[in-house]
Amino acid sequence: MSFAGKTAIVTGGASGIGLETVQLFAEQGASVALIDSNEEAINEAVEATVAKTGNKNIIAVQTDVANSMQVAVMAEQVHAAFGRIDCLVNSAAIRASGNAMTLEEHIWDQVINVNLKGMFLTAKYCLPKMIEGGGGAIVHISSVQAFASQKNVVAYTTSKGGINALTRAMAIDHAEAGVRVNAVCPGTIYTPALVKSASRFDGDETLKAWGEDHPIGRLGESREIAEFAVFLCSEKASFATGGVHTVDGGLLAKLPCELPEK
């Protein structure tokens, strides 16, 4: 999957799935714009990516993806730096606990604005430049929680369901312009955010139990999701658009009620 001469933008690129996606694009020869709201983290991530891959065509653009003006400026900066935009992987996301009664309204707004509106805004400002260059590919990182929810994550689950619908709508709207749009729905992935979440319980034991919930018997790795996202951006996936792809170790295929063994 060579991306030589191509430019990729990755939001949420300072850690987890986003950072692995940045580094995989860099390994494949792309010029990469690493987008995140944490300025210190993105600068460190750029340094780490250059050191790991040897690719020096990596820039960091501090951006709040929920802020229209900042996203517009980001798209202009990336285009000015590299002359084109070919791929966009939207990985930026936040999560908050609460149900429809307990979740505060401003927290609901934050989650929806980052997770869902942020993907709309990056598309809004990157699509014209992508189309100007002859087309491209967009991948939204969604979640299995677009299909089946845990308790007390009403905003997160809603945002992920919206991402899947956004993916289908964009795929239809922009197919004629040569832009493919897909979503990836990961299962439980070993990331810094997941480790932090597990630390509220039994730490390593909780992570182990979460991994065993998957038929494949373990947690997923950020690199495994990055590989799939970058594949969807490549010419090897040239007929794939409008798809919502689960990469979940079989999690959604498994019914929670099992028959007793004989």
The two structure tokens encoding residue 188:
């439980």
Q: Which of 144, 116, 109, 165 lies closest to 11, judged by CA?
A: 116
**Residue of 156, 190, 210, 228 with catalytic role:** 156
Q: How far apart (Å, rounded) are the C-alpha atoms in residues 239 and 231? A: 12
Which residues partner with 58 through β-bridges?
A: 32
H or E stretch including 198?
A: helix 192-198
190 is catalytic: no
Q: Which of 5, 25, 174 lies closest to 84, judged by CA?
A: 5
Tally Cβ neighbours within 10 Å of residue 94: 18
Burial class for 45, CB neighbours closer than 10 Å (0-12, 13-18, 19+): buried
The length of the chain, given as a count of residues: 262
Rg (CA), the chain: 18
H or E stretch including 244?
A: strand 244-247
Q: How far apart are the first and last CA of the chain?
A: 47
H or E stretch including 43?
A: helix 39-53
Contact (CB, 8 A) for 96 and 114:
no
Q: Which residues are catalytic?
A: 156
